[in-house]
Every structure is written in structure tokens, then in C-alpha cells.
Amino acid sequence: MSQDIFGIQAALKSLGIKDLHQGASTGMEWIKTSGDVISSYSPVDGLLIGKVNAAKQDTYDAVVNIANQAFSQWRQIPAPKRGEIVRQVGDRLRGKKEALGKLVSYEMGKSLQEGLGEVQEMIDICDFAVGLSRQLHGFTMHSERPQHRMYEQYHPIGIVGIISAFNFPVAVWSWNAMIALICGDVCIWKPSEKTPMSAIACQQILSEVLKENNIPEGVSNLLIGDFRIGELMSHDPRLSLISATGSTRMGKKVGAAVGARLGRALLELGGNNAIIISETADLKMTIIGAVFGAIGTAGQRCTSTRRLIIHERIYEDVKSRLKEAYNQLKIGSPLDPANHVGPLIDQNAVELYLKAIVQVKKEGGKAVVEGGVLNGKGFQSACYVKPAIYEAENSFEIVQAETFAPILYLMKYTTIEEAIFIQNNVPQGLSSAIMTSNLRESELFLSHMGSDCGIANVNIGTSGAEIGGAFGGEKETGGGRESGSDAWKYYMRRQTNTINYGTDLPLAQGIQFGF
């Protein structure tokens, strides 16, 4: 970089990012890999951040073998002691928050504040996992037989494969890895090949802690490569759980491969999230929630707000307030705190954004705020686009699909039942919200007659879920739950135990078997 005004070089240095990396690590030395070279270019200014030799099948097999050996040792460490390791990871992340947040922002293109927020989510999940490491409890129940005790317990499940997406290059890995680690599992992480440097930085941080504690290699592994690594993982019966975050297209492939071998899959896929804006909504709050949901991370969150379902009586008012808010948006380098919107991840994303705009108009949509690619001064790469708003019908093909870009569709409703119908009438089921001051409406929205999504909010937007809740959604979103609440149960195998402490052997269901 000619003028490093945002201190990127210092951040890269403090995270140990070099010009060329190997694409595989078992937590000790980096393993020499011989795959194609992956180059990571920043969407912020188009400059090269670094290169990685991708992992291939031979490296993959070596890493799985090492992980397998590590599992037999890691699971013997008591869970609270595993929690102590995760506590140290959280502390190390606190020390690296500034640098890692900056790298995430620079490599992914989200605002620095969001990059720091993502690292904060990692710290929070570490804290959550530390507490959980003393609470991996099962139920006890009363046996129908005398002098019998029955209870259930949770055991580590084995190797957890984590496939993560570019949009949350570090946090989503930590939601999975920190929980898996306290559960006694070992992990193999395949990050998005669009954000390999952020993954390398995380692996270095975690490896330091593991080494300092004399933990054997293979507990936390990294494999950087393209979809072929994901395919190997999905088909491999040695990986007990595959937790995959990304598009519905990818998830269907992963789900089918894992299902064919009767493995366990945790899928967190596409969303098509809507906010219902009731005529009783507080419009000041509504505009903040809707605009942040639509343009935050340049519309590249799985929880991004894609549709606003607005009561007909306030439709024009909301429309003009949105227009006014969009006029004030500052687009440019996400490292500059004055800007609200950064670039899309790459040229391919820009093309999909442009295609969606052509299609919504072809289907009859009308521009409220017209989109377009931005170039010229202040736009140092070709990935900057204008957040756009279109009036559209929910039935449009393009509205039914998830476009990972800042495009917001507006539609009208008359009754709350109709609004809920529209909100649910898409293939995806991740996040949803209602802005209302009417108790009846909000309770209906949250009831079994209401939102069919995994996340349903009242008077906050669709994005920005906290780590303490279980995160995920229904229908084409894949059905998985990760992060908080009791999502840890996915990462363990459940065992029911019945113990007879008497001197007879009575059979269950009253069966007599005397001889």
C-alpha cells in the first residue's frame, strides 16, 4: 500500500500474516501444501493481501488422521479444563481485537466497526463456552423398574468439520469451534477461499494458546482450499458432524452428501428476511432498523433485511423516509468510520447485484432509490455499489431469491394476517421482525400462526443476533442451530443409561421370560 493511513500493514504484521502461506495447519507447524495458489485481494482497494498454497487430498487425509489421534487425547481432558483453554483463547482475542477486526474489515469489506463487532462475538462465544464447560448436563428420569436408575449423558462426538462463508470470516467459525472444543471434539475448519487471511490469523492465535498449554496437535485444524475440500469433508464418515454456513445451493450438496452416509449436518443457509411495519410502528426506530438491516455489511449477511412489508396507510410515509435516509448514506472505504457502506466482496457479487436489478425491473418493479456501480474518486476497487430500493411484488422470482447485496424490496399490506402470509411466503426461513406498538399484532406474529422463521423479533431489525441465542432457521435455511442456548447438543452424542442395582432382572414393559 502506498499510503497506509488505516494501519493495515501494522495489523497484518501483528497477526503474523506473510506474503505466502501454506494452506493447512494442525495447530503446530504449517503443513507444506501443493494445491493451486489462492490470492486474497482486498475489495477495499483491490490490493493483494497475501497468497496461500491450497490444500489437496493428500494433505486432507494427513490432517484427518492427526485430528483422529488428537480426539482420543483431547476428550480425556475434563470439560472445565478444556474450558480453561477456551478462556485463554478469549483473552488472546481481546488483545488482538483491534488488529483482527481491521484485517476482517480489509479482507471482507465490512465496516471497521462491524469487523471489531465480529471479533467481539468471538470473545463473547469464548466466555459463553467457558461457562458451558461446567454445564454439559443431561436429565435423570425415573425407571419403571424397581431398583433401577436411568439417566442420560452427553459424550464428545468426534471430528467436527466447519465450513464457513466469507461474510463472517471469523465469528461463525468461533461459534462452532469454541463450543465443539469444550464438548471434547476436535475441529477441521475450511474457511471461505475469499477470506483466507482472516482464517490464518485465527489459526495462529488459537495455535499459540494450544502450544502454550502443551495440547497435542490436531485439536484445531485448518484446511484452506476450494469446494473440493468441502466435498471431501462432506463425504467422509470420519467427520461425525459437518457444520456448514453459506448458500442454500451449497447446503443442499453438503446435506445430501452427509445424509447419504447418515452423518450429522448442521446447516445455516440463505435467508430472505422481512420486517413487517405496522401502522402503529415507531417510525424513527423502524427506519434505523430497516436501513441497518438492508445496508449493513453491504447486504451480505444471511440476516440482512431484504423485504419491507408495510401497512398501506403508512406506505408512502415510510417510502419517503427511507429515500431521505438512503440519500444521506456515505459509501466508501469501510476502514473510514465516516462511511456507512463498504464494497461487495468481489466482481462476481457486483454482477449478481446488477442482474438482480435488471430482473426486478423486468418483472415490473419500480425504483425508489436506483442502484448502480460506483466508480471514481473514493472508490478504490470496482466492488462499490449503491444501496438500492425497489417496489416489488412478493411473488417476483427475484424477490423469492436471496441476492447477497444491498437491495431492498418494498411491498404493501392491508391486514396483519396478510402481512404474515407474505413474510412466510418465501422458500427461506432465517430471520424476521415486526415493528409495532400493538400487543395483539406482536403476539400473533410470535405465535404458531405467525413467523415461520428461526428468529422472530419485535421492534428490532432482522440482523445482529446475539451469540447467547440459538442461531439458525427453517425451510431452505437448513434447520440447524449454532452458537448459544442448547445448540451445544448438536456437538455431542447422547447416551441413555439404565443401571440395575437390585438382585433381580425385571424386564421392561412387564415381559416375563422365566426359565
Per-residue contact string for residues 205-224; x = within reach of ligand UN1 by CB under 6 A: --------------------
Nearer to ligand UN1, 54 or 302 (CB): 302
Q: Which of 6, 128, 168, 326 binds ligand UN1 (CB under 6 A)?
A: 168
* Sign, Cα dihedral of 288, 291, 293, 295: negative
Question: Segment near ligand UN1 (CB under 6 A), from 165-173, 235-243, 394-402, 494-502?
Answer: 165-173
Distances, alpha carbon 410 to alpha carbons 136, 157, 175, 403, in Å: 45, 45, 33, 15
Asked if 268 is an active-site residue, the reply is yes
- Backbone region of residue 485 per phi and psi (left: phi > 0; alpha: psi in -120 to 50; beta: other values): left
Q: Check: CB of residue 225 under 8 Å from CB of residue 256.
A: no
Site for ligand UN1, residues 330 to 389, rule: CB under 6 A: none
Decide if residue 464 touches ligand UN1 (CB under 6 A). yes
Dig out the grid coordinates for 88 from the structure. 485463554
Continuous H helices in 238-346: 248-260, 283-295, 315-327
Decide if residue 487 touches ligand UN1 (CB under 6 A). no
Q: Is 481 exposed, middle or buried (0-12, 13-18, 19+ CB in 10 A)?
A: buried
- Residue 278 CB, shortest distance to ligand UN1, in Å, is 23
Length of the chain: 515
β 220-223/24-25 pair status: antiparallel
Catalytic entry in 121, 217, 268, 476: 268
Q: Which of 221, 240, 286, 303 binds ligand UN1 (CB under 6 A)?
A: 303
Decide if residue 7 touches ligand UN1 (CB under 6 A). no
Nearer to ligand UN1, 302 or 411 (CB): 302
Decide if residue 167 touches ligand UN1 (CB under 6 A). yes
Buried b (16+ CB within 10 A) or exposed e, 122-159: bbbbbebbbebbeebeeeeeebebeeeeeeeebebbbb
- Residue 304 CB, shortest distance to ligand UN1, in Å, is 8
For 285, residues 6+ apart whose C-beta sits below 8 A from its C-beta are 435, 459
Nearer to ligand UN1, 270 or 332 (CB): 270
Decide if residue 272 touches ligand UN1 (CB under 6 A). no
Residue whose C-beta lies closest to ligand UN1: 465
Site for ligand UN1, residues 227 to 246, rule: CB under 6 A: 245
Catalytic residue list: 268, 302
**Chain contacts with ligand UN1 (rule: CB under 6 A):** 167-168, 172, 245, 301-303, 463-465
